[in-house]
Structure 1
Amino acid sequence: MKDYIVRASAAHTQIRAFAAVTTEMVEEARQRHGTSPVATAALGRLMTGGVMMGSMMKNPTDMLTIQIKCSGPIQGLTVTADSQGNVKGYAFDPDVMLPPKNGKLDVGGALGQGVMTVIKDMGLKEPYSGQTILQTGEIAEDLTYYFATSEQVPSSVGLGVLMEHDNTVRCAGGFIVQVMPFIEDEVLNKLEQNIQNIQSVTSMLDNGHTPEEMLAQVLDGLDLEITDTMPAQFYCNCSKERIEKAIISVGRKEIQSMIDDGKDIEVKCHFCNTAYKYTVDELKELLKKAKAR
């Protein structure tokens, strides 16, 4: 199943919902960063939440960033998504290893205590920024709490990443269900009952459920209406030119010091781990550009 996001409404627009399958993007992130199983699960959950939240934005240039800084051994995660289904991200410590907890990957233990910051850049003077304390470190509950406190939108978030024995990604995906302020009590009660009764996201995905079928379970009996689908993918817009700008920004002194070392340098993109090489001659050209600024 190719990665994609579904947007939907239910109960005559009293509920809006999103669901996604993200297996390929999470596996690509795992391959690019060489993440351990618990880091793959943590990053995969946050990327899945991020790509769905990105799809809530309207304009092609809108950008969403979710940053987690935490006391656990993973130290933090950063994910960036746009409104077109593109997402990228990295874990501060991709090699973190922890024993399983209750037979599952201990994502909460990898994160520990910390803070989640959501930044939405929608082309206004100032980006919107909301910050919440991590509740469990399991990410789905943390995003549920973020929506309720920062955006005042009661939501339910389900996220899952299931690994194979060889540590590749077997399946990944999730859903976000949000209720409107005018929701009727009986609709809310039915939704809460459904959410209590559904299988875990990983079970649904492992049983071959599509995003549409996941939402059909979450919104059973609530007149689900699929409004839109869009492809989702791991995508990084880094380039040699963008990395050059970053090198110039470190300042002339630093660039001169690299030139004095007389060795070619390699700079890696945080988000996708692509390596860009610069010869001493290229560094001299960058120094000229830095001086001209």
Structure 2
Amino acid sequence: MLLCQITDLHVTRPGALACGRVDTAQALRRAIAAINRWTPRPDAVIATGDLIDTPHSSEYKVLRECLADLDIPLYLVVGNHDHREGLRQAFPEHVYLRTGQAFVQYRVDLGPLTVLALDTQDPPGAGGHLCEARLTWLDTELRACEGRPTIVAMHHPPFDTGIEFMDGYGLSAQARAGFARVISRHSHIERVICGHLHRSIHAGVEGAPGIMASTCVSTAHQITLGLVPGAPGSVTLEPPGFAMHLWQPGAGVRTHLAYVGPFDGPYTFEGESVAPAPGAPSDIPDRHIDMP
């Protein structure tokens, strides 16, 4: 079972650039082209929030046009930049978007694996929250899928990252405590996968021993790795990418970070060129970030 994670797409309306520099729609198209070429083929793709940037209704139109190129089953999660009802209106055929009542949260069974998508949005702020209604839903769904390996997908990670300015827009302390209380009851959780940070970060969930959470790089721009207290918030044009979460019986989930190329290689250990395997990074079309 192979689950591809994309996140923090930040698709903008036509003519606009995210952070004044990044053509996020074009970056998403290149990521989708890479995923479509991947071998082995992912069983599904999940987008863990911040699908658009402002939000503006025309951004959902551009997002839909970009995602139409993906020929793998797709599941969408809301982030702090999204609009719940705007997302539902833009993707009416994604009926799971309406199963969580006021919230965009749902269960999907992918072969032997279950994914529970959790809504951490807390408008109008950029930080995340989980009220008792959402935590109760999570606990109920985890009980219902007991015995099945399960991934919980959400936008805001349930841990501090050390990137101070982003931690200021993280999941609330109350929500983190409630989340840990719920998931610590369920031993079949394999991983918690998140977005929001525009970086690949892994941490244990405090209060839930043995449960790992991770974030993923953006398909477009990344948050600068500033671990010094007081470091100013900024973005960097480090390579975009996505995560491949591989689950196998007896081995659990292993996560691989894949970049959108191009890259030199592959080479033998003696420096000789090797024909790349299908789906390998050097088999991916050239990357270009359009700037003014």
TM-score (normalised: structure 1): 0.28
Higher relative contact order (CA 8 A, sep 6+): 1
- Per residue, is there more helix in 1 or in 2? 1
- Per residue, is there more strand in 1 or in 2? 1
TM-score (normalised: structure 2): 0.28
